[in-house]
């Protein structure tokens, strides 16, 4: 048996209509994404360190407020309060070039919820007047979030 292309998968029977329908779903996803090009549709975060990790803020303490017992008052922020549909994480910012990933906010939240125990709560900008906390996802975590079907919408 000869292969039809370099992309054939052993044992897979080619079905043009099924492949076409699947491709159309991808086209519709991108069209919907491009059709939502207004500022409210996107939450954009930019990595200053180019280390391949994704920081996902979930809480902040504006003005370093303290409660009655002297503990910081944490308020939901970032991905927990965004009204955006898409979470955009810029890994590389190089003038008008760069690299970024885009994932639906729902998918990101689902990933975090299912894997919360895997990620320690991390302080961001600890000594600033607006400290924040959240999770740091490693590159393999981001890839898992993007391709694993358990994070598909259900």
Digit-coded pLDDT (tens) for 86-137:
898 999 887 777 888 999 999 999 999 999 999 999 998 888 888 899 999 9
Cβ pair 32, 106 in contact under 8 A: no
Residue of 13 and 1 predicted with greater confidence = 13
- Looking at the predicted structure, is the pLDDT value of residue 48 above 80? yes
CA distance 26 to 33: 11
| Residue 2's pLDDT band (cuts 50, 70, 90) | low
| Residue 82's pLDDT band (cuts 50, 70, 90) | very high
Q: Pseudo-torsion of CA 85, 89, 95, 98, nearest 10°? A: -110
CA distance 46 to 89: 6
- Looking at the predicted structure, is the pLDDT value of residue 69 above 90? yes
Q: Is 0.95 surpassed by the pTM of this model?
A: no
90's enclosing H/E stretch is strand 86-94
Work out the mean pLDDT of the chain and round it to a whole number: 86
Confidence (pLDDT) at 135: 97
């Amino acid at each position: 048996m000869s292969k039809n292309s370099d992309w054939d998968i052993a044992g897979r029977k080619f079905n043009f209509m099924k492949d076409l329908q699947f491709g159309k779903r991808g086209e519709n996803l991108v069209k919907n994404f491009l059709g939502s090009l207004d500022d409210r549709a996107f939450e954009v975060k930019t990595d200053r360190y180019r280390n391949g990790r994704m920081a996902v803020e979930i809480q902040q303490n504006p003005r370093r407020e303290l409660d009655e017992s002297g503990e910081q008052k944490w308020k939901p922020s970032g991905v927990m309060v965004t009204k955006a549909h898409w979470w955009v994480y810029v890994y590389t910012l190089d003038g008008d070039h760069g690299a970024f990933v885009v994932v639906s906010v729902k998918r990101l939240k689902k990933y975090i919820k299912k894997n919360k125990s895997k990620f320690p709560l991390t302080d961001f900008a600890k000594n600033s007047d607006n400290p924040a906390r959240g999770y740091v996802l490693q590159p393999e975590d981001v890839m898992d979030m993007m391709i694993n079907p358990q994070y598909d919408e259900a």
